[in-house]
Amino acid sequence: MRITHWISGKPWTGTAERSGEVFDPAIGAVRGRVDFAGQSEVDEAVAAAAAAFPGWRDASLAARSAVLFEFRALLRRRGDDLAAIVSAEHGKVVDDARGEVARALEAVEFACGIPHLLKGGFSENASRGVDVHSIRQPLGVVAVVSPFNFPAMVPLWFVPAAVACGNAVVLKPSEKDPSAANFLAGLWAEAGLPDGVLNVLHGDKAAVDGLLTHPDVRAVSFVGSTPVARHVYETGTRAGKRVQALGGAKNHMVVLPDADLDLAADAAVSAGFGSAGERCMAISVVVAVGGIADDLVGRIATRVDALRMGEDMGPLVTAAHRDRVASYVDAGVAEGAELVVDGRRRAVDGSGFWLGPTLFDRVRPDMSVYTDEIFGPVLSVVRVPSYPAAVDLVNANPYGNGTAVFTTDGGAARRFQNEIEVGMVGVNVPIPVPVGYYSFGGWKDSLFGDTHAYGPDGVHFFTRTKVVTTRWPDPSHGGVDLGFPRTV
Ligand code: NAD
């Protein structure tokens, strides 16, 4: 199967100089080859978007929202087909992929309300005879660069808001699981989005760098690992673009001594091993506060042992990633962490990129299993003596994407949400991904830029504001006045 770019409403017909293999991680077989864009394909995709922009910018709000509503209906109808594609190339189990599609729908539904969201303000008589109003206008051509772990949801965090606001988009999905983006492009076309308003460009660093420096690209929304997010932010802003670059994570779940330990253990295992830990909001560190650690680790271990490979948890995305995650398990053992459940020992039939779930106890903050984002099925327990020590640990971490506190004490939870330096906080909720009418974003090394993804921040990011001050001539004229305009 050849997977190629989608430009001006149809598959690209050129010949690619470079391409990459796309695998089915469950069986380890090559599923297809994806074309990698060079500068000429970048130019072609951006030119297609630039040509489509003026017509789409001038389309009425009613016409734009009609496309959004139609896309929503199609996504609901074809959601299972999309989930099957995601599962086949990413490896996550089908039910998990369906959850991804369901969360993506929220961002589409929010963007359906674009006529309301783009309403500006109006102040009558700001000065005598003078009115002031504000307008939100689209930016032009915008680029979206997405990671492998949510090949449907992350593109749909941005594309609906971007097009609803009147922009034209070049989407560069991950080269590891590129087919979902093409499926989505087909659905947008079916929904009535004009050709060229959404283009899909496949490839690697060359494609991304081409977009980051292209003079006709006005803004870049990026999601991926922190080193690449930093590169994208620095390169894009240096080239004068608006950039939001969401990076990696190390999410802590703090369990206070008064917590319901069964609830906490369920949550830790669900959030640690769902999607084989390949989620930016996965819990990778459980912080056991006070004397509960032995009890909590026992309850978590029982649940980890019961996980069924292939049913609860899929394989990792590539062989290289599986080997990298396994090497962290080796390192954890070498550095002295206590290996409670060893995922390397889980045998799975076939030759896919499987690795079982691993649980470490007595992990220290200087160990690589703690310091690095592993992005796999490895859960670490760090023991701390007190609540302040837990907060200090979380706040000292360079990442600040998500965190959760488990407790039955409302006062402690309230204090936690105030003191913790993390962008998304759960109280007895392990994966606090905000609903579609809020916005998603971490703090510190988990996000470069100041605007979060989707929700109100999405509309803000994909538009720029203009303020118009108006006076219509009336019969009285005040004469020339060189003083700075005043309202009184
Ligand atoms: P990645 O950084 O390797 O790749 C992300 C995108 O950047 C891909 O499209 C890729 O082709 C491109 N890319 C890779 N290397 C590049 C380079 N050197 N220069 C320019 N572009 C480059 O990330 P990934 O492995 O696909 O995804 C996993 C990472 O994404 C994890 O770190 C995870 O935490 C993070 N993530 C973060 C969020 C969030 O919301 N903060 C959400 C999902 C994933």
Dihedral pair phi/psi, residue 52, rounded to 5°: -80, -20
CA separation for the pair 173, 164 (Å, rounded): 20
Residues 342, 304: contact at Cβ < 8 Å? Answer: no
Which of 189, 188, 184, 161 shows the shortest CA–CA distance to 173? Answer: 184
Q: Whose CA is nearest to atom 30 of ligand 1?
A: 224
Q: Whose CA is nearest to atom 43 of ligand 1?
A: 280
Specify the CATH architecture of the domain 2-247+446-469. 3-Layer(aba) Sandwich (3.40)
Q: Whose CA is nearest to atom 13 of ligand 1?
A: 205
Structure tokens at 89: 């190339």
The closest-lying atom of ligand 1 relative to the alpha carbon of residue 228 is 2
**pLDDT for 57 beyond 90:** yes
- Ligand 1: which of 103, 172, 211, 223 to mutate, most ligand atoms within 8 Å of CB? 223
> What mean pLDDT, rounded, does the chain reach?
97
- Tell me the CA–centroid distance for residue 41 and ligand 1, in Å: 21
CA separation for the pair 399, 388 (Å, rounded): 19
Q: What is the pLDDT of residues 271-329, one digit of tens each?
A: 999 999 999 999 999 999 999 999 999 999 999 999 999 999 999 999 999 999 999 99
CATH superfamily of 251-427: Aldehyde Dehydrogenase; Chain A, domain 2 (3.40.309.10)
Pocket of ligand 1 (CB under 6 A): 145-150, 154, 172, 174-175, 204-205, 208-209, 223-225, 228, 231, 246-249, 280, 373, 375, 401, 442, 446
Res. 346 pLDDT band, cuts 50 70 90: confident
The closest-lying atom of ligand 1 relative to the alpha carbon of residue 212 is 20
Which of 289, 257, 291 shows the shortest CA–CA distance to 392? Answer: 289
Report the Cα 360 to chain-centroid distance in Å.
Answer: 27
Catalytic (active site) residue 280: yes
- Tell me the CA–centroid distance for residue 13 and ligand 1, in Å: 28
- Tell me the CA–centroid distance for residue 435 and ligand 1, in Å: 22
- Side chain identity, residue 289: V
CA separation for the pair 277, 92 (Å, rounded): 10
For the chain, domain boundaries: 2-247+446-469, 251-427
Q: What is the pLDDT of residues 131-149, one digit of tens each?
A: 999 999 999 999 999 999 9
Q: What is the pLDDT of residues 254-283, one digit of tens each?
A: 999 999 999 999 999 999 999 999 999 999
According to DSSP, the residues that pair with 252 across neighbouring strands are 285, 403
The closest-lying atom of ligand 1 relative to the alpha carbon of residue 401 is 41
Res. 478 pLDDT band, cuts 50 70 90: confident
Q: What is the predicted pLDDT for the residue at 476?
A: 65
Residues 361, 338: contact at Cβ < 8 Å? Answer: yes
The closest-lying atom of ligand 1 relative to the alpha carbon of residue 373 is 32
- Ligand 1: which of 89, 150, 208, 214 to mutate, most ligand atoms within 8 Å of CB? 208
Q: What is the predicted pLDDT for the residue at 475?
A: 67
Q: Whose CA is nearest to atom 22 of ligand 1?
A: 205
Structure tokens at 198: 């959404």
Q: What is the pLDDT of residues 394-426, one digit of tens each?
A: 999 999 999 999 999 999 999 999 999 999 999
**pLDDT for 150 beyond 90:** yes
- Tell me the CA–centroid distance for residue 222 and ligand 1, in Å: 8
Q: Whose CA is nearest to atom 17 of ligand 1?
A: 205
- Tell me the CA–centroid distance for residue 244 and ligand 1, in Å: 13
Q: What is the pLDDT of residues 374-387, one digit of tens each?
A: 999 999 999 999 99
Structure tokens at 189: 């076309």
- Tell me the CA–centroid distance for residue 18 and ligand 1, in Å: 20
